[in-house]
Amino acid sequence: MNSEQLLDFALDKVDDMKARDVVKLDVRGVSSVTDYLVICSGNSKRHVQSIAEHVAKEARHAGEEPLGQEGQDVGEWVLVDLGDVVVHVMQDQTRSLYDLEKLWG
């Protein structure tokens, strides 16, 4: 998948799991690491973990092996690195604290 297709894929997968407040950021002009960030919220530790696991699992099924996954055991903030797209799934308090939209937007 190209980066736009991967972005659409990630957005679709977080929507499958009812992620809230989904934001996509184009960071191609600011980051050499990735093209897009997807930032979303889950209602609880378990919800955050489930959203991230679903994205990673479905990516594998689509032939896009995640480059990494961090924070799965804690569940406050889980990052799924799909290469051209990095998905951040957070609980509300963590999302407010780090405010990635302001940092990267």
73-84: pLDDT as tens digits: 999 999 999 999
Q: Report CA torsion sign: 102, 41, 73, 8.
A: negative
State residue 10's pLDDT score: 98
* 63, 15 contact by CB (below 8 A): no
> What number of CA atoms fall less than 13 Å from residue 73's CA on the CB side?
0
* 66, 85 contact by CB (below 8 A): no
Residue 69 has pLDDT above 90, yes or no: yes
Mean pLDDT across the chain: 96
Which pTM does this prediction carry?
A: 0.96
State residue 105's pLDDT score: 77
17-64: pLDDT as tens digits: 999 999 999 999 899 999 999 999 999 999 999 999 999 999 999 999
Q: Does domain 3-104 have CATH number 3.40.47.40?
A: no
**Where does residue 27 fall: left (phi above 0), alpha (psi -120 to 50 degrees), or beta otherwise?**
alpha
Q: Which residues, at least 6 apart from 100, have a Cβ–Cβ distance to it below 8 Å?
A: 25, 37, 39, 88
The structure tokens 């209602």 sit at 43
State residue 85's pLDDT score: 98
Complete edge-to-edge strand list for the sheet that includes strand 68-70: 20-26, 36-41, 85-90, 77-81, 68-70
State residue 35's pLDDT score: 97
